[in-house]
Amino acid sequence: MRPAARAAGTLSRSRRPAARREVRAITDAMVRLLIGAPLTSDGKLTVVSLAAEAGLRRNKLTHKHTGLKDLFYALVKARAPLPETDSGRGARDRAAKQQQDLTRVRAERNDLRTQLQLMARIVQVLEVEKHQLEEANTSLRAQLAAHTAVPDLTRRRRT
């Protein structure tokens, strides 16, 4: 960096990466807002929404990155109006419906988890009962074999 630029009060080398990250975050947020796909803000085309979308405080745009703020306002002003007069309403309606769907699907998932746990317990109980019945069956077969006094006629000698 030139000494004259440093004396003029520009950013030092240690702060450059942070400023670059801020500029990148602001430009990415501009794109998201202008195409109508905000991630973290309300989607309005204002500096407040731009700052929220970029994850920065508003004063970063109004004091430090004024050129980006002016560019954003120029892009908003030059932008052709959307065919739908209240484009934010359509996006908000879709978001609300998606939120309802998500809530419904989560409730269904929780219900299925509960049913799965119940069925797992039932299977476990049935396995224990099956094992007990098999042991009882083996014991009864042994008792039956011991009590049947049928002589084995094939082993008798003929005289």
Res 153: pLDDT: 67
Res 81: pLDDT: 64
Burial (CB count <10 Å: 0-12, 13-18, 19+), residue 38: buried
Which own/partner contact pairs does 92-97 have at CB distance under 8 Å and 24+ positions apart?
Answer: 92/43
Kindly list the domain boundaries of the chain, sorted by start residue.
17-79, 98-148
Q: pLDDT of the chain along its 159 residues, tens only?
A: 444 444 444 444 445 788 889 899 999 999 998 888 888 888 888 899 999 999 998 888 888 888 988 998 888 888 866 555 455 677 888 889 999 999 999 999 999 999 999 999 999 999 999 999 999 999 998 888 877 766 666 666 665
